[in-house]
Each structure stands twice: as structure tokens, then as C-alpha cells.
């Protein structure tokens, strides 16, 4: 559909939209916790970079050369490295927001008694 930009467009679309939404509605809270998000993203990025070549070697998945830019990082497309960075940021942001919302809901319910 998008040729060599297909994987890049999907990664950016499916990662940046949720990240943008979470940061737009919780900016101050997430900004105070940016270090936690950064550490979580870095740890997962290193783990995914270390394990992905094994999954590819075992043929768990593959990357179609006509759907990627063709630039390689270690043994995988640069789009996959971007995926390894953006998905942990999205998950860490969502997890922190959920904890924040649950804490706020618990505080408001305790306050009403």
C-alpha cells in the first residue's frame, strides 16, 4: 500500500498517536516521570535488540524488503529499532497514566467518606 514506507508508517502511526494522546492529556504528570519512562524504554530497547536477531534466525518472523526502507541496524530494519524504542515508551506512559488515574480515583472515593 505504501511501498517501502509501509512498516515505517505503521510503526509511527500505531505508536505516536497513543503516545501523543497520553502526553496531551497527562503532560504534567508524565513530564515529572520522564526519567522512569526513559529508563523503562532503554531497558526494553536493549532487551529487544538482543533478542530480536534470535527470533529472526529461528524464522519466527521476517521483514519484507519491499515494505522497509532497506537500512539495517545490527540485523534488523531501522523501522524495527524505532518500534523497539516507541513501544516501550507507549507502554510505560500508559502504565504510569493508569496508575495515576487509579490513584486519583481511590483518593477521590476516600475523600467522599
The H or E element that residue 57 is part of is helix 34-57
Q: What is the 3-state secondary structure (H, E, C) of 2-30?
A: CHHHHHHHHHHHHHHHHHHHHHHHCHHHH
Express each pLDDT in 42-99 by its tens digit: 999 999 999 888 888 888 877 788 888 988 877 788 999 999 999 999 999 999 999 9
In this structure, which long-range contacts are made by residues 79-83, counting pairs with CB atoms below 8 Å and at least 24 apart in sequence? 79/7, 79/8, 79/11, 80/7, 80/52, 81/49, 82/8, 82/11, 82/12, 83/11, 83/15
Q: Report pLDDT for 25.
A: 96
DSSP state of 59: T
Express each pLDDT in 21-42 by its tens digit: 999 999 999 999 999 999 999 9
Amino acid at each position: 500500500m505504501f511501498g517501502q514506507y509501509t512498516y515505517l508508517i505503521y510503526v509511527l502511526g500505531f505508536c505516536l498517536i497513543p503516545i501523543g494522546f497520553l502526553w496531551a492529556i497527562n503532560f504534567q504528570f508524565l513530564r515529572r516521570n520522564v526519567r522512569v519512562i526513559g529508563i523503562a524504554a532503554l531497558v526494553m530497547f536493549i532487551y529487544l535488540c538482543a533478542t530480536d536477531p534470535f527470533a529472526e534466525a529461528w524464522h519466527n518472523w521476517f521483514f519484507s524488503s519491499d515494505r522497509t526502507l532497506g537500512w539495517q541496524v545490527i540485523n534488523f530494519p531501522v523501522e524495527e529499532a524505532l518500534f523497539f524504542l516507541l513501544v516501550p515508551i507507549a507502554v510505560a506512559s500508559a502504565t504510569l497514566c493508569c496508575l495515576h488515574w487509579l490513584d486519583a480515583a481511590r483518593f477521590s472515593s476516600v475523600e467522599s467518606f
